[in-house]
Amino acid sequence: MLDSKMTEKENMLAGLPYDAWDEALLKDRMNAKAICHQFNLADPTKLDERMLILKGLLNIKDSAHMEPNFFCDYGYNIEIGSDFYSNHNLTIIDVCKVTIGDNVLIGPHVMISTGTHPLNPIERQSTEYGISIHIGDNVWIGGNVSILPGVTIGNNCVIGAGSVVTRDIPDNCVAVGNPCRVTKSIE
């Protein structure tokens, strides 16, 4: 049930059910899509100029490099640490906070999604909600990985290509599979 004392944006940011078609949220999403579109069409040889396009949308701590295409819902819920790299086709559904640490490498075709929907089909028609995601420092995420709502990936982890991360991964681990499971420790 929606909290009538809060705006839809406040509900969304709090991880509560919200109406995604709220006028203010729709405006925010269209702004993010326009900036992503501009970034995705920018001259690929002008690396610094291309990244400047995203600086006003994302919260980037320091140096970051992202290959096009990049897509997100809002942008303002994404915090990226220093020395970040993402390969082509990163999608971040950021209805709640997505925190990415320092020295993170992301392979191609990765999806990070805080957004989810009620199981009840009637509720699902009008509301959605989100659960924050945290990715630690020194993490390498392989290509075609999906990271689902509420997950925390610890520091110094490697997530194998094609994995679907449905639960937390502790520090210093290699984890792979669908669902993603720890296969060994990193010393």
Can you list the domains of the chain with their CATH numbers?
8-185 (2.160.10.10)
Strands (E), 22-180: 59-60, 64-66, 70-72, 78-80, 84-86, 90-93, 98-100, 105-106, 111-113, 115-116, 129-130, 133-135, 140-141, 146-147, 152-153, 158-159, 164-165, 173-176
Give the pLDDT of residue 187. 85
User: Which amino acids are annotated catalytic?
Assistant: 117
Is the per-residue pLDDT at 162 higher than 60?
yes
Output the pLDDT for position 56: 87
Mean pLDDT along residues 96-110 = 98
Q: What is the pTM of this model?
A: 0.94
d(C-alpha 37, C-alpha 80), whole Å: 20
pLDDT of residue 4: 64
Mean pLDDT of the chain: 95
Spacing of C-alpha 157 from chain mean position: 17
Q: Is residue 75 scored above 80 in pLDDT?
A: yes
Give residue-wise pLDDT tens across range 121-142.
998 888 899 999 999 999 999 9
Checking if the pLDDT of 84 tops 60, the result is: yes
| Portion of the chain with pLDDT greater than 70, in percent | 98
Query: What's the average model confidence in pLDDT over 142-158?
Result: 98
